[in-house]
Amino acid sequence: MQLSSEHRKIIEDSIRDIKDFPKPGIIFKDITTLLNNKEAYSILMNHLYEKYKEYNLDYIAGIDARGFIFGATLAQMLGLGFVPIRKKGKLPYTTISEKYSLEYGIDEIEVHIDAFSKIQNARVLLMDDLIATGGTANAAATLVNQAGANCVEACFIIGLNFLDGIKNLEQKTAVYSIIEVN
C-alpha cells in the first residue's frame, strides 16, 4: 500500500529536527512529536497495518527502545505476538546476543533464546524508528535468524539514505522506510 503524499507530509511535519544533538553537527530526528500528534500517529499506524496485514507474519520484533512503541502497537493491530530485542543485560531469561560496532566502540543486543520457538520458521517483521549506519538493525536481523525465525523485512519510520545502513541491511532482508532523508 502506498502512502499518499498528503499523509506522508503530515507524518514528516510531525517529526521535529533538533540541531546539534547529541553532539555538534548531528540533526536528531525526534519522533516524540509524532507520537503525541494523534492524527500523524494514526495515519502512520494505519498505513503500517494496511501494508503488513497480508504478509502472513507470526511476530513483530522491536529494537530497544523506540522500536517497542511502533512494533508493539502494530503487533496488537495485526493480532500478533511482540518480541523485544533489548540492550545487553535487560532480559531476565536465557538469551542469545549479537555485538555490533559503534562510531567509538562496540555494543551488544540480545533476545530470549526461545522468543520464536512456538512457531517453526516464524515470519518476523523487525521494527525501529530510524536506520542510520545500520549496526543495530543488522545485529537484530541476525538475532532473529539465529533464534530460528525468518526476518522477512525490516521497517523504519525514518531511513537516512546518505548513510550505508539501508544498503547493508538489504543484504540480509528487505527494508522499508516510510520517510527517506537524502
- Candidate list 66, 86, 108, 170, residue with the active-site label: 66
Compute the C-alpha angle 8/12/18, nearest 5°: 170
Q: 5 is written with which cell numbers?
A: 503524499
Q: Which three cell numbers stand for residue 169?
A: 541491511
Cβ atoms of residues 126 and 177 within 8 Å:
no
The residue written with cell numbers 547529541 in the block is 22
- Which residue among 103, 123, 170, 180 is the active-site one? 103
Whether residue 11 contacts residue 178, with contact meaning beta carbons closer than 8 Å, is answered with: yes
Grid cell for residue 154: 525490516
66 as an active site residue: the answer is yes
In the annotation, is 123 catalytic?
A: no
Q: Which residues are catalytic?
A: 66, 103
